[in-house]
Amino acid sequence: MAGEAEVLLFMVDAGGGHRAAALALGAAAEESGAPFTLRVQNFQQILVGLDPLHRLSGLSVEDAYNLILRRRWNVAMVPLLRVMHGVIRLLRPRIVRALSAWLAGRPRPAAVVSVMPHFNAIMAEALRTAHPGVPLVVVLTDFADFPPRFWIEPGIDRVVVGSDEAREQARTLGLAAERVSRVSGMILRPGFYRAGGQEARARMRAELGLAENDFVVMLLFGGKGSPEMPRLAEALLVADPAARVVAVCGDNPGLVARMTAVEPRVNGRLRTLGFSDRVADLLAASDLLVTKPGPGSLAEAFHAGVPVVVTRNRHTIPQERFNTDLVKSRRLGLVVGGWREIPEAVARLHADTAERTAIRARIAALPANRAVYEVLEIVACEAGLRRCAVDAPSQP
């Protein structure tokens, strides 16, 4: 049972990773008996009255970001990001006052945790005003920062990173080495550790009607899928007649219907799923994951020992570009220029058994990812509720 001390955690709903990290930390705190209660707060809800976009259009910054992703306007992300940072700088005094007042109206927390970018310097200033001495811990939910003023800013008491590159970025951006904690990867939800494995592989393949020796490619493109998935699945199965595809479409009934319409044309080699909370078991049943280069999907694939195929092009959102470099430089899968290149890349990798074996060996050599539990230890330490632990072993 979590303790009486309260830790306040700020998140946003721009994309799905920040909320997923917050929920995972909350679940792990309950499960592990952390010496504090984790209170999750959507940061946008506090400042909605100061959001000029919301006043003009009724859309919050979160809504606008998610709309950009849905409409695939990612090429505009960097200039829009810089405009947003300019607006934040302009409104900073008002935001600090509003956040300070909100914090002052609440009981003093043992610590504040941020799993969101853009506002961490403001958060640090407001916290010093409302509750001097309460530490701010910023936990990156990306493998690396996208400076300036994205994740890591002056005034933060502790930054928690999941890669050596992000640790070096923090030092370059002016944080003292002793203020940077390196954990063993991205945050995974606790249930992910109890799923997967060889037993799950056999069971899931039996459920899906797949043979043990089938070469299974899993398609996973976030919580709403991707409009290219039907064409991609069909092209994959044409390029590699021996392959089987499992397509996870997420919460998108229209996409599920379009994928299901493809199934009769490919002789039963496509399995279509909607939203699934069994991603760990599905990964266990798969030989290859085709996905966008999001940190969560990559972390799950690496934990499951599954090679990945990802794309990098002008539509890749800026904070995920490093992830493609990570996959390529450490040879944990393949990086291609667009979805039309994926079928040939998958067929090539299927044919090259030695390379697939080598990729799996490199993934297996990564240190075990226990980041969700390591972060809780760091927060407890920073809050003075536990003795400090050393950094976790190096892992991308």
- Could you tell me the residue range of the domain that residue 92 belongs to? 6-188+369-382
**CATH code at position 345:** 3.40.50.2000
Tally of domains within the chain: 2
Tell me how far apart the alpha carbons of residues 110 and 55 are, in angstroms, rounded to a whole number. Answer: 34
Q: Is there a single domain that holds both residue 355 and residue 374?
A: no
Query: Is 392 a domain residue?
Result: no
Residue 392's SS3 state is coil
Model pTM? 0.89
Quote the tokens at residue 277. 């909370």
Q: Which residues lie across from 244 on neighbouring strands?
A: 216
Q: Is there a single domain that holds both residue 336 and residue 223?
A: yes
Q: Is there a single domain that holds both residue 252 and residue 328?
A: yes
Q: Is there a single domain that holds both residue 61 and residue 177?
A: yes
Q: Is there a single domain that holds both residue 242 and residue 357?
A: yes
Dihedral over alpha carbons 21, 25, 31, 34 (to 10 degrees): 170
Other C-beta atoms closer than 10 Å to the C-beta of 51 total 20
Q: Is there a single domain that holds both residue 227 and residue 299?
A: yes
Tell me how far apart the alpha carbons of residues 264 and 255 are, in angstroms, rounded to a whole number. Answer: 16
Tens digit of pLDDT per residue, the chain (396 long)?
344 899 999 998 766 788 899 999 999 999 999 999 999 999 988 887 665 544 544 545 555 555 555 555 566 667 777 777 888 888 889 999 999 999 999 999 999 999 999 999 999 999 999 999 999 999 999 999 998 889 999 889 999 999 999 999 999 999 999 999 999 999 999 999 998 888 999 999 999 999 999 999 999 998 888 889 999 999 999 999 999 999 999 888 999 999 999 999 999 999 999 999 899 999 999 999 999 999 999 999 999 999 999 999 988 888 899 999 999 999 999 999 999 999 999 999 999 999 999 999 999 999 899 999 999 999 999 999 987 754 544 444
Other C-beta atoms closer than 10 Å to the C-beta of 260 total 15
Amino acid letter for position 60: S
Q: What DSSP assignment string belongs to 303-314?
A: HHT--EEEE-ST
Query: Is 148 a domain residue?
Result: yes
Q: Is there a single domain that holds both residue 135 and residue 219?
A: no
Query: Is 396 a domain residue?
Result: no
Query: Is 84 a domain residue?
Result: yes
Q: Is there a single domain that holds both residue 217 and residue 176?
A: no
Query: Is 64 a domain residue?
Result: yes
Q: Is there a single domain that holds both residue 152 and residue 16?
A: yes
Q: Is there a single domain that holds both residue 168 and residue 266?
A: no
Q: Is there a single domain that holds both residue 199 and residue 58?
A: no
Quote the tokens at residue 120. 């961490």
